[in-house]
Chain A
Amino acid sequence: MSLPFILIASVTLLAAAAAMSLRNLVHCALALTVTFAGLAALYLNLDAQFAGFAQILVYVGAVAILIVFAILLTRSGDTPNQAILAPGWIYGIAISALVFTALGWAVLNSSALPKPAAPAPEATVKNIGEWLMSKYVLPLEVIGLLLTAAMIGAVIIALREMKTKMEGDRP
């Protein structure tokens, strides 16, 4: 564990804890943005340039803005009055600790896990681009089709709403 890793990891974890526990929803969203940026820094620390930059571009640049706008458009900025923790929080922590231990034990003792560290794969941006255009072109196209369908669906929903509203407005 190097110093940069410890620094980045602690910032990421602190921001994630803040995102869960702060009272104001917009503050939570901003803390979540810091978590996204910390994850990007971790990827860069592992020399995964494409994953790191894509993480910033997609999560910090787009998803964070989307979350913030969703909060602003759906509810007022008032802070809720109920307690942060649900009443049965002790059971929740106990169960999650149990699940984590079980999973960790299973992973560490698994025979599928290769014990010696595998050589780092050549995952430069150029290689990723070439694989996306040759070996993995079909999954890429399928995802593109899916996203296009989702976008057309969103447009159609927005269109209908506008039409009915305008008809209703007419005397």
Chain B
Amino acid sequence: MSDRIQQVIEAFKHLSLVDKLDQFFVVLKQLVLAGVPEGWQPLVSGLLSVALVLGVFPGVFALITVIERKGLGRIQNRYGPNRVGIPFTKIRLCGFGQFIPDGIKSLTKEDIVPYAADHAVHFLAPIVMLIPVLLAYAVLPFGRNMTIADYDAGLLFFFAVGGAVEVSVFMAGWSSHNKYSLLGAMRAIAQMVSYEIPLILSAVTVVMIVGSLKLTDIVAHQSDYTCGIAHWYVFTPWGLAGCLLFFIAALAESNRCPFDLPEAESEIIAGYFTEYSGFKFALFFLGEYLGMFAIIGLGITLFLGGWTSPVSFLTWIPSYVWFLAKLVAIVFVFIWIRGTLPRLRMDQLMNLAWKFMLPLALINILVAGVWHFMGHDWQRWLVCGAIISGAYIGLGRGLMQNQKLGKRTYRFAE
């Protein structure tokens, strides 16, 4: 047994300093595995990976909630939370300790279940929400050699478990016996079903170009550099269109503003989790944010090169740092959008999905085919860019013509 530990340490010593930093967690796991008996290795390996996901992403969630409140505060011209720091000291950390009292508060609050609620389903809904969301993390490549379950059909697995979230939303909305909850659940399911189609169709383009559903293969195809700039798919015409479509659909799938109709506070209180309090509410909150992180992680893997660095002279930064940095950057953009855009109306929501994003995603598939078969000529940039921008302008103009939008006139405000 000590031989195997020696081997792992020897192999680690031969790595360069950059690789040592990059592969630190991988080697740490190998070291632990070398210490346990042969038969227990799969179990211990699985437990270690699960512990990593359960430790890192709820931690990111805790920090993001504070960043979101502070960011929205900035946008709305007020201070966000800025008091709580490290408990029992005078260090305030600009209010970044706020998540600790928030967590304690949600743990100690009374758990209220409505008298008319369907108790079993009401109890199960937050759990059914969280399980598929956590399962989705199994296939995401967080860094070099850092994928928990590297399935051949990883992308399919991600979308399959994502579909189970809808069931939990329905369970929560229906079991509460509250009209706001049921309305919220209906809206959420209608929205998720509609936006799943552009989401999957925009991901299909990457599968067509790479020729594999394996997420590590998709990252490996984007890890080359030309003139110091990475071959990320977002830097190609079809990739840019696909990336924008993907992240708009991701925004809708995670029920974020401007697509937050399912939990529109001014209309239906909190949507499908109106009747949840205490830690069950916190579980919904956690599930929603973890779902958002997972879908952003998939977007990063598909279009933004996964854990690779954008320029070749920054490859010394460890891969998992890149992944988390990209994740936080895109979450920041989502917060920015939340602070900027007003909520859509139901018909606008459906029109955007079915009349604009779906045709554009289908055209984008065609463009990816043209890109693949035109070889490595420079003309393909022109042709593909022309088709995509032509389709975008044509669709946009065509849809706006029917709207009869004139100059807005204010009757009372002037």
Contacts and interface: CB of A to CB of B under 8 A. Distances in A.
Interface in B142-197: 151-153, 156-157, 159-164, 166-167, 170-171, 174, 189, 193
Q: Label chain B's interface by main secondary structure.
A: helix
A64 B167 contact: yes
Interface residues of B, number: 22
A56 B167 CA distance: 12
A50 B156 contact: yes
Contact of A53 (B156, B167, B171): B156
Contacts of A124: 152
Contacts of A68: 170, 174
B161 A49 contact: no
Given A57-B159, A125-B213, A33 B167 contact: yes
A65 interface: yes
Contacts of B118: 24, 27
B174 A72 contact: yes
Contacts of B121: 26-27, 30
A50 B153 CA distance: 7
Contact of A65 (B161, B166, B213): B166
B312 interface: no
A92 interface: no
Interface in A111-151: 124-126
A61 B164 contact: yes
A28 B249 CA distance: 32
Interface in A39-58: 49-50, 53-54, 56-57
12 contacts: A24-B118, A30-B121, A56-B163, A57-B156, A60-B160, A61-B167, A65-B166, A65-B167, A65-B170, A68-B174, A69-B189, A126-B152
Given A60-B164, A61-B166, 11 more contacts: A27-B118, A30-B121, A30-B171, A53-B153, A56-B164, A57-B160, A61-B163, A62-B163, A65-B189, A68-B170, A124-B152
Interface of A: 24, 26-27, 30, 33, 37, 49-50, 53-54, 56-57, 60-62, 64-65, 68-69, 72, 124-126
Interface of B: 118, 121, 151-153, 156-157, 159-164, 166-167, 170-171, 174, 189, 193, 212-213
Would you list the 5 A-B pairs with minimal beta carbon distance, nearest first?
Answer: A61-B163, A56-B160, A125-B153, A57-B160, A53-B160
